[in-house]
Amino acid sequence: MNKDKIIGIVGGVGPVAGLNLVKKIFNQTQAKNDQEHLSVALLSFPQDIGDRTAFLLGETDINPAYAIVNVINKLEKIGACTVGIACNTVHAPQIFDVIRQEIKQANINVKLVNMIDEVPDFINENYSNIKNVGILGTIGTYNTGLYSDVLERKGFHVISPSDVLQETVHSAIYDPATGIKAQSSPVTEIVKSKLLKAANHLQQQGAEAIILGCTEVSLAFDKLKVEKLVMIDPSLILARALIREANPAKLKPLSS
């Protein structure tokens, strides 16, 4: 039997988000036993990779791209052929473009999947009636227009939180006492309340779907639902894209 390509995951951004991405890869793979699952390598070096939002906000001049490239290089050395990064904010051009340039210059031979680029195609393929989309993510993602730029080019109308509400979403992720980065299993009730408030606000502004534009936010919405609002999880979309790149025959139908 031919071996599948190894899927490589850059973890540590944040650590639980990487683990969650691997779990979604397993859940989206057609397999009847252990041996039929795809090979996955997760490397998590959180101490080495600086905060992405801090860099985008100018709070540090150390671009986390270089540390991420080091992880991708390690993944290639253990046989990874396709790689995903378990962080939305990493995909801001100021970081992701440098990662791509460094990979090319270093002759690191992997297929790097861009999670953000996958999202509008996923919505069009599975929710063709949806055109008004809300975004929940970090301030770094919000300020760079990461999702807005990609979605608007594809004809979507993007609805973003107000500045005040964006601060609330950001604190749900980063608060050192209650935020998801501090407590992810389980997510605190305070965080759930903040995120539900933000989701309901976006729905009131006309959003038909919400993109969970931070991998930590998707951890919270594993248990949260808003009536008549479609939750778009880029982490799930990335998991499916990585399976597609490694072995498309192994990809479950979305309803599975």
Would you name the residues annotated as active-site residues? 87, 214
Q: Which of 109, 191, 206 is nearest to 159 (CA)?
A: 206
Q: State the number of CA atoms in the 13 A half-sphere of 1 facing the CB.
A: 6
Count CA atoms closer than 13 A to 25's CA, side-chain side.
31
Whether the Cβ atoms of residue 246 and residue 81 lie closer than 8 Å to each other:
yes
* 178 C-beta neighbours (distance < 10 Å), count: 15
Residue 185 exposed, middle or buried by CB count within 10 Å (0-12, 13-18, 19+): exposed
Q: Are 23 and 238 in contact (CB under 8 A)?
A: no
